[in-house]
């Protein structure tokens, strides 16, 4: 709507009808058959530096340098924050 490109990195595939899906970075970023729109998904575990580095290079090659980065990475524990153990929080 505002002529922006959204790039999503996640360990789980993004489910949407207007996405470009990329396979695991170890699979040489081969594209699956999906329509290209303004949202692109890359499979990436952001807790693994090697994956982040490889995917970031691919993003720069295909889309240029990002102008905004929103980091919303986290692990859902299914507990109230007051019920989290120190190990839960560290994870």
Q: For the chain, which residues make up each domain, given as ranges? A: 6-90
pLDDT digits (tens, 9 = 90+) for 3-41: 788 898 988 876 655 555 555 444 444 444 333 568 888
DSSP secondary structure letter of residue 30: P
What confidence score (pLDDT) does residue 5 get? 87
48/59 Cα distance (integer angstroms): 17
pTM for this structure?
0.61
pLDDT of 90 over the 80 cut: no
Task: Give the residues across from 19 on adjacent strands.
Answer: 39
Structure tokens that stand for 2 in this block: 């505002």
Q: What is the mean pLDDT of the chain?
A: 77
Q: Tell whether the model's pLDDT for residue 69 goes beyond 70.
A: yes
Strands of the chain (E only): list them: 6-10, 19-22, 39-43
């Amino acid at each position: 709507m505002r002529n922006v490109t959204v790039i999503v990195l996640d360990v789980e595939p993004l489910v949407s009808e207007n996405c470009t899906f990329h396979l695991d970075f170890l699979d040489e970023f081969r594209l699956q058959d999906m329509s290209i729109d303004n949202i692109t998904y890359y499979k990436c575990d952001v807790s693994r530096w090697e994956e982040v580095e490889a995917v970031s290079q691919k993003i720069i090659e295909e889309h240029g340098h990002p102008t905004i980065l929103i980091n919303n990475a986290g692990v859902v524990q299914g507990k109230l924050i007051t019920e989290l153990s120190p190990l839960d929080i560290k994870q």
